[in-house]
């Protein structure tokens, strides 16, 4: 569904991805894991158009989307929840959601009402400003906004970062629900149990390349890969 082929990408003169190949199957959850600084976020940013690949290709549903601006990629059905969450603090929860909804097509499957039902915590906070939300609520809003785009794939960068265990459990249950509904997910995550509890496929990264691929069960069993590529 979403494919990166031979992608080189980085910041200015600095190359971070060195010929990265990654293929996310439709309907699957794909976890992209690796130690700090190996290029996981750079991979996601390049996949969704926030960074331009210097060479190589990004395709989505068979269409070449390499170098297209993020809002164009978003309209095709790729929703990105960045590590920074990027909630608009000065806008209300409702306004944050409505703004994201502009990226959806006609008759979207996700509406304000459906997002409010999906995240009851947000339903009670619709008129609150983004800056008034807790970290967990901000993450729910960030995911809610991505859903308002009516995505075909949800791309998430460390959705559990900085959150309390109870909130992490809630986010986990919600992502499970989205998976069960057939939505495709590409997930970067430091919390290995969280990632393996959701993932079908796993890719491990080191220094801008994929160094291991397999299914979640294979990674669970491969202790050498844990030590070598994850340091756990
Ligand atoms: N905006 C930026 N400008 C310049 N260099 C950057 C920028 N963002 C990241 N880098 C560098 O690119 C490399 C890969 O960073 P990236 O954020 O993709 O790694 P990561 O695997 O997501 O790490 P982490 O686990 O810490 O989130 C690092 O060396 C980092 O310092
Ligand atoms: Mg990162």
In a domain, 36, yes or no: yes
Residue 11's domain spans which residues? Answer: 1-72+193-232
Taking residues 179-208, what's their average pLDDT? Answer: 97
In a domain, 113, yes or no: no
Please tell me the residue having the least CA distance from ligand 1 atom 26. Answer: 36
Bridge pairing between strands 55-60 and 2-11: antiparallel
Is the CB–ligand 1 distance for residue 162 below 6 Å? no
Which residues are within 8 A (CB) of 180 and not within 5 positions of it... i.e. 6 or more apart? none
Please tell me the residue having the least CA distance from ligand 1 atom 23. Answer: 37
- In this structure, the number of other CB atoms found within 10 A of the CB of residue 14 comes to 7
Distances (CA, A) of 33 to 50, 208, 226: 20, 12, 10
Alpha helices in the chain (DSSP H): 40-48, 70-76, 93-101, 112-118, 120-123, 135-148, 165-180, 192-198, 216-221, 223-225
Is the CB–ligand 1 distance for residue 159 below 6 Å? no
In a domain, 102, yes or no: no
- In this structure, the number of other CB atoms found within 10 A of the CB of residue 102 comes to 11
Please say if the pLDDT value at position 228 is more than 90: no
Q: Looking at ligand 1, which atom is closest to the CA of residue 34? A: 21
Please tell me the residue having the least CA distance from ligand 1 atom 6. Answer: 11
Q: Are 225 and 231 in contact (CB under 8 A)?
A: no
Please say if the pLDDT value at position 189 is more than 90: yes
Q: Are 78 and 220 in contact (CB under 8 A)?
A: no
In a domain, 200, yes or no: yes
In a domain, 91, yes or no: no
CATH number of the domain to which 13 belongs = 3.40.50.300
pLDDT at 42: 98
In a domain, 221, yes or no: yes
Q: How many domains does the chain have?
A: 1
In a domain, 212, yes or no: yes
Helix 165-180 / helix 135-148 crossing angle, nearest 10 deg: 20
pLDDT at 163: 95
In a domain, 23, yes or no: yes
């Amino acid at each position: 569904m979403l494919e990166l082929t031979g992608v080189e990408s980085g910041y200015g003169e600095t190359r971070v991805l060195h010929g990265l190949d990654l293929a996310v199957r439709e309907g699957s959850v794909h976890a992209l894991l690796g130690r700090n600084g190996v290029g996981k976020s750079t991979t996601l940013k390049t996949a969704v158009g926030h960074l331009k690949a210097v060479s190589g290709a990004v395709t989505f549903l068979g269409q070449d989307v390499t170098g297209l601006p993020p809002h164009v990629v978003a309209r095709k059905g790729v929703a990105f929840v960045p590590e920074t969450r990027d909630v608009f603090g000065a806008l209300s929860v409702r306004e944050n959601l409505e703004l994201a909804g502009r990226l959806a097509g006609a008759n979207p499957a996700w509406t304000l009402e459906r997002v409010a039902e999906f995240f009851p915590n947000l339903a009670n906070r619709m008129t609150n400003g983004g800056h008034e939300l807790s970290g967990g609520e901000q993450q729910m809003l960030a995911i809610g906004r991505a859903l308002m785009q009516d995505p075909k794939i949800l791309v998430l960068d460390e959705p559990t970062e900085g959150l309390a265990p109870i909130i992490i459990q809630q986010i986990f249950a919600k992502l499970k629900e989205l998976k069960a509904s057939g939505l495709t997910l590409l997930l970067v995550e430091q919390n290995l149990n969280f990632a393996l509890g959701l993932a079908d496929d796993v890719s491990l990264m080191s220094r801008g390349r994929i160094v291991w691929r397999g299914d979640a069960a294979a990674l669970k069993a491969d202790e050498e890969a844990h030590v070598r590529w994850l340091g756990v």
